[in-house]
Amino acid sequence: MERRYFGTDGVRGVAGEPPLTPEFVLRLGQAAGAFFRGHTPRPVVLLGKDTRLSCDLLEAALAAGLMSQGVRVEHLGVLPTPGVAYLTQRLGATAGVMISASHNPYQDNGIKFFSHQGDKLSDEAEAEIEALLERDLPTQGIGTVSDFREAERMYLEFLSSKGTSLEGLRIVLDTANGATYRLAPRLFQRLGAEVFVMFNTPDGRNINKGCGSTHTEFLRAQVVEMGYDLGVAFDGDGDRAILVDRMGREFHGDHLLYLNALMRREPGVVGTLMSNMGLEVKLREAGIQFYRTAVGDRYVYEKLKATSLSLGGEQSGHILFLDHAPTGDGMLTAILSLEAMRRSGRDLSEWYEALPMYPQLLRNVRVKDKQRVMGHPELHRAIQEAERALDGQGRVNVRPSGTEPLVRVMVEGPAGVIEEVSNHLVGLVERLDGTL
């Protein structure tokens, strides 16, 4: 079913602009409330948020819409997205909602729904909610709202139970001025690590600003200059983690999948079209099957379920351990990966060197209409020609961003070739966007 407002990661946009106006979010709450009430007579919805300025406004509008349909709303406060997913499942709530735009700048925001099982609401459920948005929904009872004050404690207890001792490790944490800013230091200290914390003073506007999993430059420098063993960077809503080794090198999602796959002796791993060919080759050498999906943790999750596997993820550090949690969790990813590292007896830097990467060039091209650009036959012909030029020694992937007005151009292969191929494709995308 085609969806108008829901993308691969909920409803996204610039806060205060269509579709994320208070009026629309109120109607979205009404539609979601009517949908949940249609499946249970007394729905309970847990509502969490990150630290960006617009969260309180959108939270109030969404809660009002839900309550107009007789829903009981439990505010979780600032909590990582996976914490909302965990508590939704743990407490037996009807659904959970996270207000966040993940790694995007503070001006953006989004609304993501979770089912009672803690996984993302299905495409079919989102389509039903969209259909209800088109109707004039009368008030159906009056719901209530309260604060669930045990949210942080329960989520921290869950994470602590999954980790083992980190005694003796000196770790720099970058919490992106986001949803992990209180919990991450407490978790790593509880597990015995010596912790130095950066970017943990959110002011509503500094979430992800020059920090976090998409901007690890300062973290990498600090790990080296301060002589720490490693660093960990989270994104704004805490579902991603990027590690940094003692030499200041970024240990991203492909490295995390390789380390965990070998130490967990996984029969298979799920990655995406963006996963480096180096990962696929090394897993194959280890006798581990590798599957690729479209980009997006939703698709990784679906493939894991279809193949009865547990481990999958993306280069961004969004890793799924389905034997531990139904959604990606940055803090869980970090502590499970560090446990695997210590069990291996090898330093993170050794694991970095164990996975040689094929050169890969990823460029984001801002466009006015990504779908029209992607549908242009000239772009399709250029991609086919680029793949022939690489002659089986690399890959080309051109795709629209699921959350931003961008076309992402990825070229992988020999270093002397990929820049020329990338320049041609980027130039074509820019030209097509300007002429359409």
Residue-wise pLDDT tens digits, 64-109: 999 999 999 999 999 999 999 999 999 999 999 999 999 999 999 9
What integer pLDDT is reported at residue 360 of this predicted model? 87
Structural contact between residues 246 and 349, judged by C-beta atoms closer than 8 angstroms:
yes
Residue range 363-396, pLDDT digits in tens: 999 999 999 999 999 999 999 999 888 887 788 9
Q: In this model, does residue 435 exceed pLDDT 70? A: no
- Given the residues 54, 100, 102, 401, select the one marked as catalytic: 102
What integer pLDDT is reported at residue 295 of this predicted model? 87
To the question of whether residue 237 is assigned a binding role by annotation, the answer is yes
pLDDT band (50, 70, 90) for residue 403: confident
What integer pLDDT is reported at residue 16 of this predicted model? 97
Q: In this model, does residue 333 exceed pLDDT 60? A: yes
Q: Which of 1-15, 210-224, 346-360 has the lowest mean pLDDT?
A: 1-15
CATH 3.40.120.10 domain locations along the chain: 11-149, 153-353
CATH 3.30.310.50 domain locations along the chain: 360-435
CATH code 3.40.50.10800 for 11-149: no
Q: Is 102 a catalytic residue?
A: yes
Q: Which of 116-125, 167-176, 214-223 has the lowest mean pLDDT?
A: 116-125
pLDDT band (50, 70, 90) for residue 256: very high
187 phi/psi in degrees, rounded to 5: -65, -50
The CATH class of the 153-353 domain is alpha beta
The CATH class of the 360-435 domain is alpha beta
To the question of whether residue 391 is assigned a binding role by annotation, the answer is no
Q: Which of 132-136, 144-148, 200-204, 209-213 has the lowest mean pLDDT?
A: 132-136
Q: Which of 175-189, 268-282, 341-355 has the lowest mean pLDDT?
A: 268-282
What integer pLDDT is reported at residue 98 of this predicted model? 98
To the question of whether residue 102 is assigned a binding role by annotation, the answer is yes
To the question of whether residue 203 is assigned a binding role by annotation, the answer is no
Q: How many CB atoms lie within 10 A of CB 161?
A: 8
Entry pTM = 0.89
